[in-house]
Structure 1
Amino acid sequence: MAQNFDWKTFKLFLKKVIVFKSKTSFIYINADGWEEAIFFALKKMGENPEWRLGSHEKGADVKISKFAISAKAGKIENGHLTLSSYRLTRYKNIAEMTKFINGEINYDFYLCCARIRLGDGGRKYSVFRVPSSVFKPRAEGWKKYQNKNGDEAGWQYIQTNGVNARIVRKMSNQLWMDIPLKLCEELFSVSFSKNELGSDLEQIFE
């Protein structure tokens, strides 16, 4: 996967951006903030990245000549990386939704920034690289599922590799994926105590 790319330097620069963002804000790194972090790390490396802030286009978020990235901010729960993806209300049925999902893979991998709340009120970020091929549904594999009240809530897909996907109706038919951590390559992690989060903000008053 882009063997001629300097992953060591990329991880170093990306970690620096995460540290900067975490020490200048109490707010966790969201999807746009994560795209920004990737962009500036690649820019510092001289890779001339392409990124259009706020475009919300489907597929790749950040591109360089060597690869294209789908940037995701997510959570780790019960041994899975949970990610949100497309909203699919424009499509009439599950066959059309599936065709769209499989047809929008114009990126090489997901680059995910997953947050974990620590017991002391601090926060941990783990960065994962996940192959773009991790989820390839078939239309006939989706099953309708119900919420706790017995109402129809959407569709669920359990893939043989353990990926559990849902299309949630009340969220504009948004696609969610729970990906087993064994399918994700952790690049690095970094933790912050409660006191470290936003700690540099006070400096502007000095």
Structure 2
Amino acid sequence: MPTVVITGANRGIGLEFARQYAADGWRVIATCRSPEKAPAELTGADGVEVRGLDVADFAGVEAFGKAVADTPVDLFINNAGVYGKRGAQAFGAIDADAWMEVLKVNTIAPVKMVEALLPALQKADGAKIAILSSKVGSVADNGSGGNYAYRTSKAAVNMVGKNLALELGDIPVLLLHPGWVRTDMGGPNGLIDTAESVSGLRKVIGDAGPDQSGHFYDYAGKEIPW
């Protein structure tokens, strides 16, 4: 039975990842900040173990890594992320403290999670790492500006993933754009639902090998320019 660790698994894309992998017989270690508030769909699912984890609490991240260090982790999905204050990301109205919090969660936390989980990943045969990024982090695709905190956090996490791909070598690292999904973050006008997004992302992850490591793909498997 393969094992997947998913951050931010209590709602949206993370919850759908947990649901789909559990349905396929995986052991799912689903993390979220408030497990007591997690939906019954997650806490009551067969094969799912819900653990409390705030990815911005780096001492907690280290402790989590130690707690699962003896468990071979076949896949780590860094899904947890924040958008930040919507009214504080426009030029002329920047909230620097809020921006720093977005960078902490979206850019630094993924590195700390991989550091913490590396012993468990190295125990698995053919482990992989998937980091949820966003197309708005593409410099080449930016045609509108705005959203300074979120855009820069995703552009930066793309570099994090590229670095990890080079440094970890035999563990493929993927940067993934889930599409514009109808979630709390994506809003009701998203173009796809979580089931379609996650089904596509799972195929990209499942098909990935060393040649795909350090690359940036959308949920349909199309490579996105940096």
Tell me: higher relative CO, structure 1 or 2? Use CA pairs within 8 A at least 6 residues apart. 1
Task: Select the structure that is richer in strand.
Answer: 1
TM-score, length of structure 2 as denominator length: 0.28
